Amino acid sequence: MRNSQKIRRFEEFLKRLMTIQFALRYIFSKKSTQAINVLSRISMVGMGGGAMALIVILSIFNGFENLVVSLYNAFQPSIKIDLKEGKYFSSERINTTELYKMKGVIAISKTIEENAYFKYGEKESIGTIKGVDQAFLQVTQLDSFIVYGNGQLTDGEHDYAIVGAGIDAALNVETDEGYKQIGVYLPKKNASLTNLPQDAFNSSYLIPSGIFSIQQEFDEKYIIAPLAFVQYLAEIDENQITSIEIKTTPESSDEIQSILEKKYGNQFKIRNRIQQNETLYRIMKIERWAVFAILSFVLLIISFNILGSLSMLVIEKKKDISILKAMGAQNHQIKKIFIAEGLMQSMIGALVGVAIGCIICLLQQYFGFVKLGGSGTFVIDAYPVDIQILDIFLVFVIITSISFIASIYPAIKASKQSIQFN
């Protein structure tokens, strides 16, 4: 019984080997009709070009996605806690001492955000002032993105501001002019429309200590200031805040979020970085898959060359098919030969295309030949790329699927051909 099974398996192996052998022979043999050779080569080149384009474009998308995410992560915490309803809450409602004891928690910062009016000399701007405690620079990576000055917030006597590059462009702040201060204006709680402008706002001043540049959305919106300064202008006590921001180790973030949701989830929103930027992540995924779908459609169009070349090959190889059938070959075996032919045409092209695409990406990654346009103010000067194994796998899957579909009709046509020796 075992011997018969071994013999059967060996026979199946030989059949598969013969199928591949015939397919390879048809690929590289000289056809009598030149058009078949041309279409076959076009199919290989087309699939190779499509595979290369997919690898390069998807790698660029990966690079930009990683860059954008890293920029957002530089300003936003691993976990953010704020109210589901309302704006201010007492910091005593969250036991920060217990939070610090949790495994994976690195730093905790209390913050408050308020819309404000800024004036510097004769220039003015509107934005958001974010009051933070000293732990904020540990929760975020803001100090790594300070392009001018430093990240000082207070020296015990004076309050300082770290200004976003976008607001700096509007105000033209000079960090080395300590005597020139930024005026900050917040609406009074009980102000009415009948109040004079000077009576409707609380105002104070900040000394600009540094300019940060992370991402346009943050640069044009924020001025970072001491927490107590903003609480004073907002007319709230020292315990009132709008959020608690937590920095965790990457591997512990989900677990900590789950624990906090169980304990505080009824009244507070406990959001990780993805949840803080749901729209951004959704848009990036949609764009990525849209590009993948478009390029896959291009490959589908290219696959018509495979259908055409195989159909012509079936006509040319009528005699070979008849001989095979006369020797006992079954219809499904004939079908497999021509499907293998179509798949090999595509896969040869795909292998070459993926290899070239990876080489291009690696060269760009290490040497940055293709530069980003613009004024040179961006955080990088060349297109970022990131090759992912999953992308390579998906490219081969889509090419294999398209090639298989394109090969079915000619293969069926070949298998149904009657024996002819004319």
- What's the pLDDT at 179? 61
Taking the mean position of all CA atoms in its chain, how far away is CA 145? 21
Lowest mean pLDDT among 264-278, 338-352, 408-422: 408-422
Q: What pLDDT is stored for residue 252 in this prediction?
A: 92
Position 79 scores a pLDDT of 94
Q: Which residue has the higher pLDDT, 131 or 323?
A: 131
Q: Any residues with CB less than 8 A from the CB of 185 and at least 6 apart, and which?
A: 116, 117, 118, 119, 201, 202, 203
Average pLDDT of the chain is 82
* Average pLDDT estimate for 142-157: 87
In tens, the pLDDT along 372-399 reads 765 444 567 788 899 999 999 988 888 8
Tokens standing for residue 199:
């009576």
The closest alpha carbon to 247, from 135, 88, 171, 390, belongs to: 135
- pLDDT given at position 156: 82
* Whole-number pLDDT of residue 233: 92
Q: Which residue has the higher pLDDT, 282 or 308?
A: 282
Domain ranges of the chain: 24-71+281-415, 78-273
The stretch 331-347 carries a mean pLDDT of: 76
Kindly report the pTM of this predicted structure: 0.73
Confidence band, pLDDT 50/70/90 cuts, at residue 421:
low
pLDDT of 10 reads 46
Composition of the chain by helix, strand, coil, percent to 5: 55, 20, 25
Question: Residue 403: its pLDDT value, please?
Answer: 84
